[in-house]
């Protein structure tokens, strides 16, 4: 299993680049079959990195060798070039299908924009969650966390002025829900 969380955090550019995402998936799936990856590296120049094409070929070989594999891409909409990443994943899937591999590749993708997924994987099972559902869920989580942490703080500071008041807890809830933006 390989997992990657895409993020547009400006401090972590490698979290949005499709090639970096594919390299991470190769690294995660290669732990049990290092010989395949080692052979690829022996044939490379010092200091070079795996290209998208290299990763696609390696992943197809790894999955065919390792057996059934699962790849999870979280927050595809945060990827700088989701079309390129989806195309690479589709190519890997097609390669496994073309060579009649008995092994399977399961791909789980979360994204705010499911059109990208269905374009490359028309037979994909899509489960849509509305912003309203997400907002309710996020609100419930935030409220539970504030209550839990408030109880912990208030237990430590019994009778002191450092306790979290109802007003402060409500302000904190509003700020956190506003910043969560129904994620």
pTM greater than 0.85 (yes/no): no
Task: Give me the residue spans of the domains in the chain.
Answer: 2-120, 131-180
**Element (H or E) spanning 87, and its range?**
helix 82-98
Condensed to tens digits (0 to 9), the pLDDT of residues 71-123 reads 899 988 888 888 888 888 888 888 777 765 556 788 888 887 666 677 778 88
Residue 153: what pLDDT?
A: 83
The answer to whether 28 and 61 have CB atoms below 8 angstroms apart is no
Tally of CB atoms within 10 A around 75: 19
What is the rounded CA–CA span in Å between residue 53 and residue 58? Answer: 9
Residue 29: what pLDDT?
A: 79
Condensed to tens digits (0 to 9), the pLDDT of residues 116-174 reads 677 778 888 888 777 777 888 888 999 999 999 888 887 777 666 677 888 988 999 89
What is the rounded CA–CA span in Å between residue 18 and residue 50? Answer: 12
Confidence tier at 32 by pLDDT (50, 70, 90): low
Residue 170: what pLDDT?
A: 92
Condensed to tens digits (0 to 9), the pLDDT of residues 111-124 reads 876 666 777 788 88
Residue 30: what pLDDT?
A: 77
DSSP state of 102: S
| β pairing state of 69-74 and 2-5 | parallel
What is the rounded CA–CA span in Å between residue 171 and residue 118? Answer: 40
Residue 72: what pLDDT?
A: 92
Residue 171: what pLDDT?
A: 93
Confidence tier at 41 by pLDDT (50, 70, 90): low
């Amino acid at each position: 299993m390989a997992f990657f969380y895409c993020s547009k955090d400006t401090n972590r550019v490698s979290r949005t680049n499709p090639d970096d995402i594919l390299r991470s998936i190769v690294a995660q799936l290669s732990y049990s079959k290092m010989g395949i990856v080692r052979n690829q590296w022996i044939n490379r120049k010092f200091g070079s990195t795996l290209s998208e094409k290299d990763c696609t070929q390696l992943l197809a070989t790894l999955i065919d060798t390792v057996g059934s594999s699962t790849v999870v891409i979280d927050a595809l909409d945060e990827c700088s070039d989701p079309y390129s990443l989806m195309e690479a994943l589709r190519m890997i899937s097609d390669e496994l299908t073309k060579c009649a591999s008995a092994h399977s590749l399961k791909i789980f993708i979360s994204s705010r924009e499911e059109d990208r997924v269905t374009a490359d994987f028309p037979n994909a099972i899509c489960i849509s969650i509305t912003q309203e559902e997400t907002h309710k869920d996020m609100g419930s989580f935030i409220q539970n966390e504030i209550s839990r942490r408030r109880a912990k703080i208030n237990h430590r500071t019994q009778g002191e002025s450092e306790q979290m008041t109802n007003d402060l807890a409500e302000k904190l809830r509003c700020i956190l829900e506003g910043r969560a933006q129904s994620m």
